[in-house]
Amino acid sequence: GNSVTQMEGPVTLSEEAFLTINCTYTATGYPSLFWYVQYPGEGLQLLLKATKADDKGSNKGFEATYRKETTSFHLEKGSVQVSDSAVYFCALRSSGTSYGKLTFGQGTILTVHP
Amino acid sequence: DGGITQSPKYLFRKEGQNVTLSCEQNLNHDAMYWYRQDPGQGLRLIYYSQIVNDFQKGDIAEGYSVSREKKESFPLTVTSAQKNPTAFYLCASSSIAGGTEAFFGQGTRLTVV
Q: Please report the number of interchain residue pairs, chain A to chain B, with beta-carbon separation below 8 angstroms.
A: 65
Per the model's pLDDT, the better-predicted residue between B78 and B1 turns out to be B78
Sequence letter at residue B20 = T
pLDDT at A44 over 70: yes
Determine, for residues A99 and B96 on separate chains, whether the beta-carbon distance falls below 8 Å: yes
pLDDT at B74: 98
Distance CA B41, CA B2 (A): 30
Sequence letter at residue A2 = N
Q: Are B77 and B20 in contact (CB under 8 A)?
A: yes
Out of A49, A98, A101, closest to residue B101 by CB: A49
CA distance to partner chain B, nearest, from residue A81 (Å): 24
pLDDT band at A49 (very low <50, low <70, confident <90, very high): very high
Nearest chain A alpha carbon to B91? A43
Q: Which residues of chain A lie closer than 8 angstroms to B74, CB-CB?
A: none
Instruction: Enumerate residues 6+ apart whose C-beta is below 8 A from B38.
Output: B44, B87, B88
CA angle (B86, B47, B89) in 5-degree steps: 30
CA distance to partner chain A, nearest, from residue B12 (Å): 16
Residues making up chain A, counted from first to last: 114
Mean pLDDT across the stretch B25-45? 91
